[in-house]
Amino acid sequence: MSDRNSYGDSGPRRDDPQSHGPGAALVPVRSPRGVHAVTRQVEHGRPRLRDAAMTTAGAREAGGAGIVRRAAGHPAAAPLGALAAALAGSLVLYGTDPHQPGHWLPRCPFNWATGLLCPVCGATRMAYDLLHADPVRAFHDNALLLLCTPFLLVVAGRWAAAGLRGRRWRPVLGARASYAVGAVLVAWAVLRNLR
C-alpha cells in the first residue's frame, strides 16, 4: 500500500485496516449527506469502502434522525404541516363558538390594546360561521377576508402541489401589488372602524 490513502492525503491513517489487523473496521466518514459509518475492507491489498447503511448495524446507526431531517427539509413538509394545523384548528374551533362570551379563544392583540378593529379582526368568527355553513353571518364578521378566501385557497393549493412534486414555491408579489394590498388593508381597517 502506498503512503497516500484513498482520500489523496499523505501520511499514516489511524483507520487504516492494516493497523487493525485482518478483517474490517467501522470508521466515521464525512460525506455530503453527513457523517455515517463505513466499513473498510482489504481486498488484494487495496481498501474497499462499503456503506454500512446496507448492514443492520449501519441502518441502526444512521437511524431515524436522518429520515426525520430529510423529511423536515422536503418541500412538502411546510404545506402539509400547515394543512394539518388548519385541520386541527378547525376541529377545535367547530366546537367553540367565538360569538359567545366566556370562550377561551385569544383576543386580537391590536383590538385589545386600542379598542379598534384590525383588518383581520373577526377571522375566527368568520371561520366558525363557514364551518357551520353560514356564509351570510361570515360576511358580516369580515367581508374582505371572506372575499379573499378563494384566492388564499388557490395560493395554498399551488404551494401544496409544488411541494408534493418536490419543488419549493413562493408567490412573488411585485412592489405595486404589495402597495395595493397594503392600501386595501388600511382602507378596510378605517372603514370598519367608521361604521
Q: pLDDT 10s digit of each residue in the chain, 195 long? A: 555 545 555 544 555 545 545 555 555 555 555 555 554 444 455 544 444 444 444 445 455 556 656 666 788 888 899 999 999 999 999 999 998 888 888 888 998 999 999 999 999 999 999 999 999 999 999 999 999 999 999 999 999 999 888 888 887 888 999 999 999 999 999 999 997
CA-nearest of 50, 30, 51, 53 to 42 is 50
Place of cell 391590536: 110
* Dist. CA 7–CA 133, nearest whole Å: 66
Torsion angle, alpha carbons of 97, 101, 102, 104, to 10: 40
* Dist. CA 78–CA 72, nearest whole Å: 8
* Dist. CA 127–CA 146, nearest whole Å: 9
CA-nearest of 172, 173, 171, 162 to 77 is 162
* Dist. CA 1–CA 43, nearest whole Å: 12
Q: Are 42 and 48 in contact (CB under 8 A)?
A: yes
C-alpha 147, offset from chain centre:
27
User: HSE on the CB side for 30, CA within 13 Å?
Assistant: 1
The DSSP bridge partners found for residue 36 are: 29
